[in-house]
């Protein structure tokens, strides 16, 4: 299947990691991935990358997806607040089913200790 081509998935993962490194710098990237609360997500993401390179692209992508969510779930409320202000996307986020999910995510984020 073309969607699970391991070469393209590996290039995408490397581009993602290089983009994060370019955005926040090499030292901050290492700090982000080795923080105790991010270690599980970082391990899953890198293990998924290894599975993709080994030849198991579907399972690797699933493990990477979990790792991505575990790593960046703290940023989701910020992204949602930004998207609510975008004219076309904000209207979509106000639809009944989607609005419930958005308010649930934003409500949980407000209850987290700082």
One DSSP character per residue, 29-62 reads HHHHHHSGGGHHHHHHHHHHHHHHHHT-HHHHHH
Residue at 105 is within a domain: yes
Tokens 């293990």 -> residue: 47
pLDDT tens-digit map of 3-40:
778 888 888 888 999 999 999 999 999 999 999 999 99
Residues 52 and 80 in one domain: no
Sign of the CA dihedral running 74, 79, 82, 84: negative
pLDDT in tens, 12-21: 888 999 999 9
Domain of 58, in residue numbers: 6-72
Residue owning tokens 């106000």: 94
For residues 36 and 89, membership in a common domain is answered with no
Phi, psi for 25 (deg, rounded to 5): 95, 155
């Amino acid at each position: 299947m073309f969607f699970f081509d391991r070469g393209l998935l590996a290039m995408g993962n490397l581009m993602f990691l290089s983009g994060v490194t370019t955005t926040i710098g090499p030292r901050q990237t290492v700090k982000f991935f080795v923080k105790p609360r991010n270690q599980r997500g970082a391990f899953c993401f890198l293990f998924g990358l290894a599975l993709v390179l080994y030849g198991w692209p579907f399972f690797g992508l699933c493990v990477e997806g979990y790792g991505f969510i575990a790593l960046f779930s703290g940023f989701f409320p910020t992204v949602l607040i930004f998207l609510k202000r975008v004219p076309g996307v904000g209207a979509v986020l106000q639809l009944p089913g989607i609005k419930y999910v958005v308010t649930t995510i934003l409500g949980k984020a407000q209850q987290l200790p700082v």
